[in-house]
């Protein structure tokens, strides 16, 4: 096989590939798409179900909790302003009452997951079999001491 011929094919491939890429990202193509198209797609795939602001129970707890539907799945999201006290065995729960008592009783709540972190934005998936109509609040709960650090009453949208 001739080296010049192989080198020529390689260069031709690069030129051809480069021209395809330039067509895909050309300004004409970008201008043809409405600037708000991404926003429209995002709004169709994400909807707010309920939200509420955290309040203190046993420990200072701040921030906002939202339940959203994204692409057919439901998630509990805490915003960047979320903060609560540290503790052992802390869980994120959904509670049947709009206010979560200091000591909770079995049957009145479900545990979503252990808390990911004590400050900042975080997301928890809500299982499909959970009927959100039964739960009126989100709680930050220390299972070891049965102590509610704080909670957010959820308001449906």
Write out the chain's pLDDT in tens, 157 residues.
Answer: 554 544 444 444 434 344 333 334 344 434 444 444 444 444 456 899 999 999 999 999 999 999 999 999 999 999 999 999 999 999 999 999 999 999 999 999 999 999 999 999 999 999 999 999 999 999 999 999 999 999 999 999 8
Sign for the pseudo-dihedral over CA of 157, 151, 121, 126? negative
Q: Please calculate the CA angle 111-115-119 and round it to the nearest 5 degrees.
A: 145
Q: Would you say 140 and 148 are in contact if contact means Cβ atoms under 8 Å apart? A: yes
Q: What is the pLDDT of residue 46?
A: 84
pTM for this predicted structure: 0.71
146 half-sphere exposure, CB direction, 13 A CA radius: 6
Nearest to 126 by CA among 111, 109, 105: 111
Q: Would you say 144 and 154 are in contact if contact means Cβ atoms under 8 Å apart? A: no
Alpha-carbon gap, residue 90 to 105, rounded angstroms: 16
Domain range list for the chain: 3-33, 46-156
Q: What is the pLDDT of residue 44?
A: 52
Q: What is the pLDDT of residue 78?
A: 98
């Amino acid at each position: 096989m001739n080296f010049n011929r192989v080198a020529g094919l390689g260069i031709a491939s690069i030129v051809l590939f480069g021209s395809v890429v330039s067509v895909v990202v050309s300004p004409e193509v970008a201008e043809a798409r409405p600037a708000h198209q991404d926003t429209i797609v995002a709004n169709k795939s994400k909807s707010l179900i309920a939200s509420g602001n955290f309040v203190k129970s046993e420990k200072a707890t701040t921030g906002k909790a939202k339940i959203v539907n994204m692409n057919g799945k439901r998630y509990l999201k805490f915003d960047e302003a979320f903060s609560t006290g540290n503790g052992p065995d802390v869980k994120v729960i959904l509670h049947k009452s709009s206010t979560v008592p200091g000591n909770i009783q079995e049957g009145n709540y479900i545990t979503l997951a252990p808390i990911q972190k004590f400050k900042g934005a975080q997301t928890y998936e809500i299982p499909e079999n959970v009927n959100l109509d039964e739960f009126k609040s989100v709680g930050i709960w220390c299972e070891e001491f049965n102590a509610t650090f704080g909670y957010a009453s959820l308001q449906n949208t």
